[in-house]
């Protein structure tokens, strides 16, 4: 299976890690049933000579957001995971990127899933709490 690069518009699913504000938590909103790519770009947080060798994604409540397909993007400076908004609630996602020199950088994301009460809802599911690539 060929994985397409994460090429999303807007800042809802694209997170820019900061080298100066490491405590920043990115906020994103999804509509229940929506599936999209969540991308973290580490260009502003790591040296130009560094690359990402592995990534681990952790979800505080995998029944709110279902994760799949963790990956390192081309160029090894950003990472992505596919998420599906499952239950109306908030949850936290932590991205742990390991660099080629064994340093580890974290990015925290808070995702809010909004309900669509006017429509019959999809089947609820639960996903993994942790995904790693490679």
Q: Which residue has the higher pLDDT, 11 or 97?
A: 97
Strands 35-41 and 14-16: parallel
Is residue 5, in this structure, part of any structural domain at all? no
Tell me the C-alpha distance between 111 and 95, whole Å. Answer: 13
Q: What is the CATH number of the domain that holds 71?
A: 2.60.40.10
Is residue 2, in this structure, part of any structural domain at all? no
**Overall average pLDDT of the 81-108 stretch:** 94
Is residue 38, in this structure, part of any structural domain at all? yes
Domain that holds residue 94: 14-118
Q: Which pLDDT score, from 0 to 100, does residue 71 have?
A: 95
Is residue 30, in this structure, part of any structural domain at all? yes
Is residue 9, in this structure, part of any structural domain at all? no
Over residues 22-46, the pLDDT tens digits come to 778 899 999 888 889 999 999 999 9
Q: Which pLDDT score, from 0 to 100, does residue 125 have?
A: 76
Is residue 126, in this structure, part of any structural domain at all? no
| Reported confidence tier of residue 81, pLDDT bands at 50, 70, 90 | very high
Is residue 60, in this structure, part of any structural domain at all? yes
Tell me the C-alpha distance between 120 and 62, whole Å. Answer: 22
**Number of folded domains that form the chain:** 1
- Quote the pTM value: 0.88
Is residue 27, in this structure, part of any structural domain at all? yes
């Amino acid at each position: 299976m060929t994985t397409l690069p994460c090429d999303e518009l807007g800042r809802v699913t694209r997170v820019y890690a900061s080298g100066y504000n490491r405590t920043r938590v990115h906020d994103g909103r999804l509509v229940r049933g929506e599936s999209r790519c969540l991308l973290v770009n580490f260009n502003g947080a790591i040296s130009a000579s560094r690359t990402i060798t592995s990534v681990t994604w952790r979800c505080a409540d995998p029944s709110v957001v279902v994760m799949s397909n963790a990956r390192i993007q081309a160029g090894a400076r950003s990472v992505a995971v596919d998420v599906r908004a499952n239950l109306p609630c908030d949850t936290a996602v932590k991205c742990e990127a390991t660099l080629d020199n064994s340093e580890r950088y974290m990015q925290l994301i808070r995702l809010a899933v909004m309900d669509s009460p006017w429509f019959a809802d999809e089947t609820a599911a639960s996903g993994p709490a942790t995904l790693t690539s490679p």
